[in-house]
């Protein structure tokens, strides 16, 4: 695997993790909004910057161990 492929794999993992968190938060809010009288605001989709930070965090972990 080339360094470019490795970085892309790390980015894909970060993207998957960020979207999994988003969907979990969305489902919690959606359940609340459907089952109670009060309404919560839906979360916003994770921006690129958050995914990039998470990818850097994963890369630093992998590189330091």
> Each residue of 17-54: pLDDT tens digit?
999 999 999 999 999 999 998 999 999 999 999 999 99
C-alpha to C-alpha distance for 60 and 7, rounded to whole angstroms: 11
Q: What is the pLDDT of residue 65?
A: 62
Which residue from 49, 53, 41, 45 is spatially nearest to 22, judged by alpha carbons? Answer: 45
Q: Which pLDDT band holds residue 64 (cuts at 50, 70, 90)?
A: confident
Report whether 43 contacts 29 (CB < 8 A). Answer: yes
Q: What is the pLDDT of residue 20?
A: 98
pTM over 0.85: yes
The model's pLDDT over 2-15, given as tens digits with 9 standing for 90+, comes to: 989 999 999 999 99
C-alpha to C-alpha distance for 17 and 27, rounded to whole angstroms: 15
């Amino acid at each position: 695997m080339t360094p470019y492929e490795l970085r892309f794999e790390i980015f894909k993992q970060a993207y998957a993790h960020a979207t999994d968190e988003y969907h979990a938060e969305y489902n919690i809010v959606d359940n609340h909004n459907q089952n109670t009288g009060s309404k919560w605001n839906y979360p916003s989709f994770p921006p690129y910057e958050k995914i990039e930070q998470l990818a850097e965090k994963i890369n630093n972990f992998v590189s330091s161990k």
